[in-house]
Amino acid sequence: MTTPPPSRSLQRLRDLTSARVGLGRAGASLPTGALLEFTLAHARARDAVHAAFDGPALISGLDGLGLETLAVSSCARERTDYLRRPDLGRKLDQVSRQLLASRNAGPCRLAIVVGDGLSPAAVNAHAVALVRSLMPRLAGERIEIEHAVVASGARVALGDEIGAMLGARMVVVLIGERPGLSAPDSLGAYLTFAPRPGVTDAERNCVSNIHGAGLGYDEAAFRIAWLVHEGLARGVTGVALKDESGGPIAQRIATD
């Protein structure tokens, strides 16, 4: 049994979204092509979760941008522990705490943490390029990244402890987002003012979906820089800080 070609309106909808719509059917099941595409997407998502985190390459890339980068680890030593025990990914191990404590860091405005998260593949692919685009935008606001940290076994909240130990007024965590069936390599940026253990997600801002078919580096950097500047100026992030940057997306909508 063959699947009839999609209607014109359905084809236009497909052109506008990566969602799986109007896949058709073969008897009581999906057509073979649609099933194979789904299976491949699922495999890519699983591979992204278990991809090796290339910490040395990230450190080299960030150092090449003029940042002095530290390497730390969470209490989640193995990937299986990381996936089964999210709490372990929110706490630094003892060696990392000692390393950060030995820095004797004074107060600073901004620290950046690059963590593997649920898609190391996304971080490996996008983190350095995003920081490269972000730095000149921050410089335009007279803000510099004073500390850079690469963290393995990281959940978003690991940045709270790192930021607190570094005396940062704000921390930006770049981390791999949970892989989806259309985007296994999506990067997220989480911004927290006055980071400290116990901060809730309501006190963070997020710029997400940063990848080749999603939010581009320049646009993401524009939004992150605006949120950093306004967060520092107002002393807040999260639900108290709305993205009113009027960035490229907003400008396109206004002119459409």
Other CB atoms within 10 Å distance of the CB of residue 56: 10
Residue 147 vs residues 27, 35, 111, 117, 164: alpha-carbon distances, Å: 59, 46, 5, 20, 12
44-80 pLDDT, tens digit each: 878 788 889 999 999 999 999 999 999 999 999 899 9
Q: Is 244 annotated as a binding residue?
A: no
* Distant-in-sequence contacts of 199-202, Cβ < 8 A, 24+ apart: 199/157, 199/160, 201/156, 201/238, 202/238, 202/239
**Domains and their CATH numbers in the chain:** 55-255 (3.40.50.11240)
Pull the structure tokens for residue 117: 């998260």
Q: Is 177 annotated as a binding residue?
A: yes
| Among candidate residues 104, 111, 249, 124, the one with its CA nearest the CA of residue 186 | 124
- Report residue 182's pLDDT band, with 50, 70 and 90 as the boundaries: confident
> Amino acid identity, residue 82?
Y
Of 1-5, 31-35, 107-111, 225-229, the poorest mean pLDDT is in 1-5
pTM (two decimals): 0.85
91-143 pLDDT, tens digit each: 999 999 999 998 876 889 999 999 999 999 999 999 999 999 999 999 999 99
CB 153 within 8 A of CB 74: yes
For the cut 60, the answer to whether the pLDDT of residue 158 exceeds it is yes
Rounded Cα gap, residues 130 and 58, in angstroms: 12
Given this model, what pLDDT does residue 16 score? 73
> In DSSP terms, which residues pair with 206 in a beta bridge?
190
